[in-house]
Structure 1
Amino acid sequence: MSKNNTSKYNEAAKDVVHLIGGKENIQGAAHCATRLRIVLKDNDKMDLKAIEQVEHVKGAFVAGDQLQIIFGAGIVNNVFEVFKVEAGIADMSLSDVKEQSTKKQNPFQRGIKALSDVFVQIIPGLLAAALLMGITGLLGQPGVFGERSVVEMYPSITGINRFFQIMSTGIFTILPLLVVYSATKRFGGNPVLGLVIGAIMLHPDLGNAFAVASGDANAEQINILGLNIELVGFQGGIIVALMMGLVVAKLDQFFNKKVPDMIKLFLAPLLTVTLSGLLLFVIIGPLGRTLADYLTYSLMWGTENLGVIGFILFAGVQQIVVITGLHHVIGAVEAQLLADTGFNFIMPLMSVALMGQGGAVLGYLFLRWKDDKARQIGVSSFGSLLFGISEPALFGINLKYKFPLIAGCLGATFGGAYVYFLNVTALGFGATAIPGFAIVATQGGGHLHYLIANILAIVMGFIFTVAYAKIKKPSYEV
C-alpha cells in the first residue's frame, strides 16, 4: 500500500484513535470489506457520536461488543493501514477480533454466537446449492417464462438442467454430517470425530428417517444391556446434529485430559465415538427429534392458525431481533424447516423486513438530502440492504433516530402480509434481498411476487418515515 494512498486518511485514523479512548484502550482491531472493527477494553471511553462525524466515516455502531466504523469498500483498507500504525497494534485477523469480542460476552451471548459460527462455515455450500436449485427451478418449471418450461422449449439443455439438479441436492443429503463436523470444531473438539458421528447418523444400514416416518420402511430394533434401541437414521436431523457436535466436542476434551498419554492416541477417540454413538441413539437422538418436531410444529401452527397475523408479526419484529443478535439462531430453524417440509417461508419474511428498513432509509434520505453527511451514510446503508446487510442502516440511521426503525417495521408488515396471501416461499436459506431471488420457489409466480412484496415494504417504510417526520418534525440531533 503506497504512502500516497493512505496519507489522506492520517487525520481520520488519528481522530478515531483519540475518540475511542486512546491506543491503551484498544484490545484488538481488524477490518472486513467495509468496516473497521475494534474491540475496546472499556466501551464507555469512546465517543460514538463524535466518531460518526470523523471525515470519511459513513456510520458507527456497536454490535457483538465490537465497535464497527463504516468507511466503505476500498477505503477501509487504506484507513486500517494508517490506523494500525497510529494505534501501535500488530495485524490481527477478523477471527482474532471476534475471539477477543466473545471473551467480553455473557454465557447467553456466547451461546448465540456459537450457533451462528456453526452455520457460518456451512452457509457458502448451502447458498451454492440453493442458487443451483433456483436455476433448475427457472429452467424446469412451467409458468416462469411461458406456458412451457425452458427445458421443454429447448430440449438441448436437458442434460445441463439434470446436472444442476444433482449438484443442487448433494449437500442436503449430508447436511447433518456437515453440521456435526462444524459444531464439533466450533466447540473445541476434533472435527474428524464429528465427521465419524455424522456418518453414523446417515449410515445406510439404518432405516431412512423419512421412509420410517411415512410407514414405507420398518426400523430394526436391538437390545444393548437392557436398552431397546431403534436403528433409525437422522436424515434432516439438524437439531440433533447441533447437539451431537457439542457432545462429541466435550467428550473429546474430557477423554484427552483423563486418558494416559501412552494409550491416548487410540483409546480417547474410541471412547468418544462409542459413548457419543450410544448417547445419539438413547438420549440425544430422541430428544433432538422431539425438539425439532415441536419447532417445526409451532412454526406451522403459527402460519396455519395465526394466518396473516403471524406473518405480519414476524416481518415486523425481525429486524428488532437483529439488533439483539438473536437472529443468528434463525438459520438453524430455517435448515430444520427445509429438512421437514422442503420449503422455507421465513426467508421472504426476513427479506421484506430488510426492505422495510430500506424504505425508512430512503425516507431519511429524502428528508435530509441536502445534508452531505446524511446523504453519504444513507446511500451506502441502502446499498448494503440490497444485498442483505442491515446493520449499517440499523445502527447508522434507523435505531439512532428511532422513528425510522419503527416506520421500517410497519412497512415490513405490509410485505409480510403479501408474502402470506401470495404464498411466497424459498428453496434454501442464507440469502435475502437481491441475492434471495436465486432461491425463491417458482410456484405461482414466486419471483414476481417476491419482487412485489419487497417493493411494497420499501414503499410503505418510506411513506411511514416521511409522514411521521412531516407531522412530528423530529430533531436529528442525538
Structure 2
Amino acid sequence: MANSKIKTKYLPTVKEMIRLIGGKENIQGAAHCATRLRIVLKDNDQADTDTIGKLDHVKGSFLAGDQLQIIIGAGTVNDVYAVFTEEAGIQGMSLGDVKQQTAEKQNAFQRGIKALSDVFVEIIPGLLAAALLMGVTGLLSQEGIFGAQSVVEMFPAIAGFNRFISIMSTGIFTILPLLVVFSATKRFGGNPVLGLVLGAIMLHPDLANAYAVGSGSVKPEVISLFGLKVSLVAFQGGIIIALMMGFVVAKLDQYFSRTVPDIIKLFLAPFLTIVVSGFLLFSAVGPFGRLLSAGITNGLMWSVDNLGIVGFMLFAGIQQVIVITGLHHVIGAVEAQLIADTGFNFIMPLMSVALMGQGGAVLGYTLGLWRNDKAKQIGISAFASTLFGISEPALFGVNVRYKFPLVMGCIGGTIGGAYVYLTGIKALGFGATAVPGFAIVAAQGGGHVNYVIANLLALMVGAVLTVVYLKVKKPVLD
C-alpha cells in the first residue's frame, strides 16, 4: 500500500491514467519492470496511448506484445505502481504473470515467435560471457592492436593466462546444441532433463564429428535402422536442429505422460520419449535440420557476397522497423547458427547501428525541443535506454509517434550499415548491442575502433537529420 505522501503526489496522474485505459473494469492485470508499468487490458482499443503519454510523471506510452507499457522511469515506477494497484483495486501480479496473460491473447504466430525468443533468454548470459572471453583473448593475442607485437609477445608471463582464457571462451560452444535442446524442451512444456539426455545423444563421442565429416577427413559409419540407411554423425553446431528437437521432446513427453498407464509411467514414458525422439533425430529431423541450417547460412553468406554494401544498408535501415512488429526475436536463432557455422556474427553490428540510428533520432528530437520540458524528460530517458541496447522507449515514446524521427533513424542506421560493410566489423556472440556490444566485437581489423565509429556515425546522422527536419519543416507536435 502506498504511503500518504506518495499517494498525494501520484494519485491525480493514476486516476486519469485509469480513465484513459477504459476504467478499472478494462484492467486484466498489471506489473512493472525497472522503468515501465506493464498493463494487460481486456480491450486494447480503449486505451488512449497518446493522451496517456502526456500525463504528469509519464514519459511515453505504447502497446507492444499485447501489453500497454507506460514509461515512468527507474525508482518512480515503484511508487506509481503501488498507487495504481491500490486505486484500480487489483491484486499485484509478477512480471511473469503478466507475460503469461499476454501470451494467452496472442495468435499462434506471435506465440511461436515469442517462444523462439524465450528459448535463448536463459542461454544468452553464457554466450555473452564466452564472447567477452573471446574478445579478451583476441585483444591479447592479435598483433597490430597495441603495436607491432601482440600483448602476449610483449609480456610472455601472461601467455598461460591467455591460454586459460582461450579454453574457457570456447567451452559453451562445444555443448551449445545440448543447452538449446534443454531450454527448448523446458520452454515447450516438456521435462528439461529429457532435453539434456537428447542433447547428450546429439554430441555423443561415438558419433563422427560433424565438422570432421564436413571437411572430408572422417567417413561416418552408416547403419540400417529398420531398413533406413542412417549416418552416425553428431550434431556439433546444429542449433536449428536442437530447437526442433526441443519441441519434439517436449511434445512426446507430454503425449506419453498422458497416455502411458500410471503404474508404469515413471520409467516407460521417458523411455519412449527418448527412443522415439532419438529415431526422429537421425531419420528425419536431423537431415531436414541440416538442410535448413545450410540454407539459412548459405543465404546469409550469399547476400553478403552478392548484395554487398546494399544488403548491409538495407538490413540496418529496416531492422528497427522489424522490432516494432516483434519479429526481431527470431534473429537470435539465426545469429546462433551463423556463429556455429562460421565462427563470427556480422548481424550484431548491423543491429547495433540500426538501434543507434534510432537513438540519434530521439537525441535530435530532444535537442531540437530542448526548451520543452516534457520532450526533454521523455527524450533523455529514451536516449539513455538506447545506449544499453533497448530501443522500445525511443521507438514507441517518440519515433513511431511522430514518424519523421523513425525515418531519420532508419537513414542513420543505413549509413552505419555501409560503414560496417566497408570495415568488416564482426561479433563473436549475440544478445548485446550498443555500449554492451563493444565487449563481444571481434578484434580483427581494428574491430573495436570501427565498431565505435560505426555506432557514432549512425547516431550523428540520425540526430542531425532530425534536428534539421525540426528546424526546416517546423512540424506541429502535440
Class of the TM-score when normalised by the shorter of the 2 chains: over 0.9
Q: Structure 2 length as normaliser, TM-score?
A: 0.97
Name the residue aligned to 1:287.
Answer: 288
Name the residue aligned to 1:186.
Answer: 187
1:318-397 to 2 correspondences below 5 Å = 318-397=319-398
Q: Once structures 1 and 2 are overlaid, which stretch shifts more, 35-44 or 47-56? A: 47-56
| Contact preservation (8 Å) 1:118, 1:182 | yes
Q: CA deviation at 1:157?
A: 2.4
C-alpha distance in 1 between matches for 2:92 and 2:149: 56
What amino acid sits opposite 1:302 in the alignment? S
Query: Does residue 198 of the first structure (1) align with residue 199 of the second (2)?
Result: yes
- Spell out, residue by residue over 1:214-244, the C-alpha distance to the aligned partner (whole angstroms, 9 max, x if none): 0111111111110111000000000000000
Q: Which runs of 5+ in 1 are unaligned?
A: none
C-alpha distance in 1 between matches for 2:22 and 2:145: 57
1:226-305 to 2 correspondences below 5 Å = 226-305=227-306
Name the residue aligned to 1:84.
Answer: 85
1:105-144 to 2 correspondences below 5 Å = 105-144=106-145
C-alpha distance in 1 between matches for 2:76 and 2:304: 45
Name the residue aligned to 1:412.
Answer: 413
- Spell out, residue by residue over 1:179-207, the C-alpha distance to the aligned partner (whole angstroms, 9 max, x if none): 11111111111111111100000001100
Q: CA deviation at 1:11?
A: 2.8
Name the residue aligned to 2:436.
Answer: 435
Compared CA separation, residues 229 and 452, structure 1 to 2 (3 A): same
Q: CA deviation at 1:75?
A: 1.3
| Contact preservation (8 Å) 2:134, 2:440 | yes
C-alpha distance in 2 between matches for 1:69 and 1:154: 53
| Contact preservation (8 Å) 2:34, 2:74 | yes
| Contact preservation (8 Å) 2:368, 2:471 | no
Name the residue aligned to 1:6.
Answer: 6
Q: CA deviation at 1:396?
A: 0.4
Q: Please give the secondary structure, in 2, of the residue aligned with 1:434.
A: helix
Q: CA deviation at 1:362?
A: 1.5
C-alpha distance in 2 between matches for 1:106 and 1:218: 46
Aligned residues: 477
C-alpha distance in 2 between matches for 1:383 and 1:366: 14
Q: Please give the secondary structure, in 2, of the residue aligned with 1:334.
A: helix
C-alpha distance in 2 between matches for 1:260 and 1:109: 35
C-alpha distance in 2 between matches for 1:126 and 1:4: 46
| Contact preservation (8 Å) 1:197, 1:273 | yes
| Contact preservation (8 Å) 2:238, 2:337 | yes
Q: CA deviation at 1:356?
A: 0.7
| Contact preservation (8 Å) 1:5, 1:78 | no
Name the residue aligned to 2:223.
Answer: 222
C-alpha distance in 2 between matches for 1:424 and 1:311: 11
Name the residue aligned to 1:175.
Answer: 176
Q: CA deviation at 1:5?
A: 6.9
Q: CA deviation at 1:140?
A: 2.0
Name the residue aligned to 1:161.
Answer: 162
Q: Please give the secondary structure, in 2, of the residue aligned with 1:428.
A: coil
| Contact preservation (8 Å) 1:239, 1:336 | yes
Question: How much is the aligned-residue C-alpha RMSD, in angstroms?
Answer: 1.3
What amino acid sits opposite 1:270 in the alignment? F
Q: CA deviation at 1:151?
A: 2.1
C-alpha distance in 2 between matches for 1:453 and 1:127: 21
Q: Once structures 1 and 2 are overlaid, which stretch shifts more, 255-264 or 127-136? A: 127-136
Q: Please give the secondary structure, in 2, of the residue aligned with 1:203.
A: coil
What amino acid sits opposite 1:253 in the alignment? Q
C-alpha distance in 2 between matches for 1:82 and 1:174: 47
C-alpha distance in 2 between matches for 1:229 and 1:384: 51
Q: Which runs of 5+ in 2 are unaligned?
A: none
C-alpha distance in 2 between matches for 1:39 and 1:127: 32
C-alpha distance in 2 between matches for 1:120 and 1:6: 35
C-alpha distance in 1 between matches for 2:217 and 2:14: 66
C-alpha distance in 1 between matches for 2:280 and 2:308: 39
- Spell out, residue by residue over 1:243-269, the C-alpha distance to the aligned partner (whole angstroms, 9 max, x if none): 001101111111111111111111111
Q: CA deviation at 1:159?
A: 2.7
Q: Once structures 1 and 2 are overlaid, which stretch shifts more, 74-83 or 369-378? A: 74-83
Q: Once structures 1 and 2 are overlaid, which stretch shifts more, 330-339 or 6-15? A: 6-15
What amino acid sits opposite 2:81 in the alignment? F
What amino acid sits opposite 1:338 in the alignment? I
Runs (4+) off by over 6 Å: none
Q: CA deviation at 1:468?
A: 2.6
Q: Please give the secondary structure, in 1, of the residue aligned with 2:434.
A: coil
Compared CA separation, residues 355 and 239, structure 1 to 2 (3 A): same
| Contact preservation (8 Å) 2:138, 2:443 | yes
Q: Please give the secondary structure, in 1, of the residue aligned with 2:432.
A: coil
Q: CA deviation at 1:51?
A: 1.0
| Contact preservation (8 Å) 2:364, 2:467 | yes
Q: Once structures 1 and 2 are overlaid, which stretch shifts more, 122-131 or 462-471? A: 462-471
C-alpha distance in 1 between matches for 2:4 and 2:331: 45
Name the residue aligned to 2:400.
Answer: 399
Q: Once structures 1 and 2 are overlaid, which stretch shifts more, 46-55 or 185-194? A: 46-55
Compared CA separation, residues 406 and 80, structure 1 to 2 (3 A): same
Name the residue aligned to 1:40.
Answer: 41
C-alpha distance in 2 between matches for 1:318 and 1:191: 33
Query: Does residue 54 of the first structure (1) align with residue 55 of the second (2)?
Result: yes
C-alpha distance in 1 between matches for 2:174 and 2:369: 51
Q: CA deviation at 1:400?
A: 0.4
Q: Once structures 1 and 2 are overlaid, which stretch shifts more, 113-122 or 70-79? A: 70-79
Q: Structure 1 length as normaliser, TM-score?
A: 0.97
What amino acid sits opposite 1:184 in the alignment? T
C-alpha distance in 2 between matches for 1:163 and 1:404: 47
| Contact preservation (8 Å) 2:2, 2:79 | no
Compared CA separation, residues 5 and 282, structure 1 to 2 (3 A): farther
C-alpha distance in 2 between matches for 1:301 and 1:436: 25
Q: Please give the secondary structure, in 2, of the residue aligned with 1:218.
A: coil
What amino acid sits opposite 2:312 in the alignment? F
Q: CA deviation at 1:88?
A: 1.8
| Contact preservation (8 Å) 2:2, 2:82 | no
What amino acid sits opposite 2:449 in the alignment? L
What amino acid sits opposite 2:262 in the alignment? D
Q: CA deviation at 1:366?
A: 2.0
C-alpha distance in 1 between matches for 2:40 and 2:132: 35
